[in-house]
Amino acid sequence: MKVIVSARNNDLDGEVDPRFGRGVCFLLIDLESDDYETIDNSSGAGATQGAGVLAAQKVAATGAKAVLTGHCGPKAYNLLDEAGITVYTGIEGTVREAVARFRAGELESAGNADVDSHW
Amino acid sequence: MAVKIAVASGKGGTGKTTVATNLAAVAAGAGRPVHLCDCDVEEPNAHLFVRPEFDERRDVTVALPVVDVGLCEHCGACAEICAFNAIAPMPERTVIFEDLCHACGGCRLVCPNGAISDGSKRIGRLETGAARGFRFTHGRLDIGQVRVPPLIEAVQALEKPGEFVIRDAPPGVTCPTVAALRGADFALLVTEPTPFGLHDLAAAVELVRALALPCGVVVNRDGAGDDRVARYCADEGIQLLPGIPFSRDVARAVSRGELIVDVLPEMREIFVSLLDAVTERLDHPDTVREVRT
């Protein structure tokens, strides 16, 4: 299983980016092999509108089954949900810590967007 | 001669509607075939002062894409062309975000399977009718709608050849204001003699110059601040038109929904000379030096 974490930079020990749509990048982490790859989000981060819409399409194309992030708006949430991806919000700390908590089953899925559009 | 005057300002609350409605009344009184168009469709208020009797009301719609799921192959061409990220092809269906869509029709054009057609979405209403000797039209944007320019363009579509059109533009210098200024012959910029007034006036001047529109400035609440706007206009070679003095009588009349030219004779004189100055300028566009940057 693969999970996506919104990240401040290309580093497992870097901070989780609190923004989903306008996050700096995404780390796509393979929970079986512990390998990860970085997915650029400059198009979303710089979009005049619909940043979450762009980011959600990008994430859906990776085949990830879960998204760990700080906050997620309604448009991005609906698209991720549509693609069968479970969203976890309120995540803080490093990417490595977030993945460890996910693995340990400590995280609770958001079930909904946690912020409004243009938050 | 057909004329289109747009009353605009960078700053909100400077007196655009006061100038537009009173100028319309004075121009109509002088025998001009006036058509006052309230293009501030997000917050139209000119009708409060001219009290029109509407004889026609109609819905204004824009074309929003509708996807035929049977024809869509989720190729993503629609999302690629969409500059507004309003359409997202997902594995099961293609999702459209109405509030992001600018109704440009790009997705319909690029879809290789003809899966996208034009639906119709109401954005607001148009009302037109007679008001105290002139024609009046305004648009009212529906609550929650963000597509402002198409409704402003629908208001302007009712302007007729030969009319003396006065447009009350929305404040600011963004897309709605640009839509209200487009096609005008002259921009009447209303401001107040304050630092905020000057700052936002300069932005409005930059906009009308980008649109190659001649402009003149009306100072409202003249005497309440200082002479910084007058100095700016002199430096920039912008015509300073007759202004409206800072006065408790004016404030009282406006707060009652009265036209100041109806209740204050000295205001009628000012608006008559404002109308003269604007028509003189339109008849002889070269009499005032225009500084272009």
- Asked if the model's pLDDT at residue B293 lies above 70, the reply is no
- Asked if the model's pLDDT at residue B138 lies above 80, the reply is yes
Domain harbouring B30, CATH code = 3.40.50.300
Amino acid of residue A36: Y
How confident is the model over A51-76, as pLDDT tens digits?
999 999 999 999 999 999 999 999 99
User: Does residue B289 form part of some domain?
Assistant: no
The pLDDT value given to residue A38: 96
- Asked if the model's pLDDT at residue B123 lies above 90, the reply is yes
Same domain, B177 and B78: no
Identify the domain containing residue B152 by its residue range.
Answer: 3-51+132-283
Same domain, B227 and B272: yes
- Contact between residue A77 and residue A41 where contact means Cβ atoms under 8 Å apart: no
Q: Over range B161-184, report the average pLDDT.
A: 96
User: Does residue B136 form part of some domain?
Assistant: yes
Same domain, B117 and B230: no
The pLDDT value given to residue A73: 95
- Contact between residue B134 and residue B28 where contact means Cβ atoms under 8 Å apart: yes
Same domain, B137 and B11: yes
What ipTM does the predicted assembly reach?
0.84
Q: Tell me the C-alpha distance between B228 and B193, whole Å.
A: 7
Compute the count of residue pairs across chains A and B with CB atoms less than 8 Å apart.
Answer: 39
Number of domains composing chain B: 2
Same domain, B238 and B146: yes
User: Does residue B216 form part of some domain?
Assistant: yes
- Contact between residue A14 and residue A7 where contact means Cβ atoms under 8 Å apart: yes
- Asked if the model's pLDDT at residue B285 lies above 80, the reply is no
Chain B positions in Cβ-Cβ contact with residue A117 (cut-off 8 Å): 99
| CB nearest B91 (choices: A54, A75, A83) | A83
| CB nearest B86 (choices: A50, A82, A84) | A50
Same domain, B150 and B111: no
Is B90 within 8 Å of A82 when comparing Cβ atoms? yes
User: Does residue B109 form part of some domain?
Assistant: yes
Is A82 within 8 Å of B92 when comparing Cβ atoms? yes
Confidence of residue B291 (pLDDT cuts 50, 70, 90): very low
Same domain, B9 and B152: yes
How confident is the model over B60-115, as pLDDT tens digits?
999 999 999 899 998 999 999 999 999 998 888 899 998 899 888 999 999 999 99
Residue among B276, B277, B243 at smallest CA distance from B260: B243
Chain B positions in Cβ-Cβ contact with residue A47 (cut-off 8 Å): 85
Residue ranges for chain A with pLDDT beneath 70: none
Same domain, B21 and B76: no
User: Does residue A76 form part of some domain?
Assistant: no
> Which residue is it, tokens 């092809």?
B89
Q: Residue B168: helix, strand or coil by DSSP?
A: strand
Chain A positions in Cβ-Cβ contact with residue B97 (cut-off 8 Å): 50, 53, 75
Closest CA of chain A from B83, distance in Å: 9
Same domain, B108 and B26: no
User: Does residue A66 form part of some domain?
Assistant: no
- Asked if the model's pLDDT at residue B287 lies above 80, the reply is no
Q: Cβ of B281: how many Cβ atoms within 10 Å?
A: 21
- Contact between residue B193 and residue B222 where contact means Cβ atoms under 8 Å apart: yes
Per DSSP, A17 falls in state P
- Asked if the model's pLDDT at residue B270 lies above 90, the reply is yes
Determine contact: A62 vs chain B, CB below 8 A: no
Chain A positions in Cβ-Cβ contact with residue B77 (cut-off 8 Å): none
Same domain, B77 and B186: no
Number of domains composing chain A: 1
The pLDDT value given to residue B91: 81
Among the candidates B122, B140, B175, a domain finishes at B122
- Torsion angle, alpha carbons of B200, B202, B205, B211, to 10: -80
Work out the burial of residue B120: count CB atoms within 10 Å of its CB; fewer than 13 is exposed, 13-18 middle, 19 or more buried.
Answer: exposed
Q: Tell me the C-alpha distance between B251 and B43, whole Å.
A: 20
The pLDDT value given to residue A48: 84
- Tell me what percent of the residues of chain B surpass a pLDDT of 70: 96
User: What residue of B is the nearest CA neighbor of A79?
Assistant: B90
Identify the domain containing residue A3 by its residue range.
Answer: 1-48+83-113
User: Does residue A39 form part of some domain?
Assistant: yes
The pLDDT value given to residue B102: 87
How confident is the model over B24-53, as pLDDT tens digits?
999 999 999 999 999 999 999 999 999 999
Determine contact: A60 vs chain B, CB below 8 A: yes
The pLDDT value given to residue B265: 97
CA distances from B274 to A69, B149, B191, B234, B279 (A): 59, 29, 15, 18, 9
Same domain, B44 and B143: yes
Residues 6+ apart with CB under 8 A from B286: none
Same domain, B152 and B236: yes
Domain harbouring A90, CATH code = 3.30.420.130
Chain A positions in Cβ-Cβ contact with residue B88 (cut-off 8 Å): 53, 56-57, 79
Is B95 within 8 Å of A51 when comparing Cβ atoms? no
Interstrand relation of B244-245 and B87-89 (parallel, antiparallel or unpaired): unpaired
Determine contact: A74 vs chain B, CB below 8 A: no
User: What residue of A is the nearest CA neighbor of B91?
Assistant: A83
Domain harbouring B96, CATH code = 3.30.70.20
User: Does residue B293 form part of some domain?
Assistant: no
Q: Tell me the C-alpha distance between B47 and B65, whole Å.
A: 34
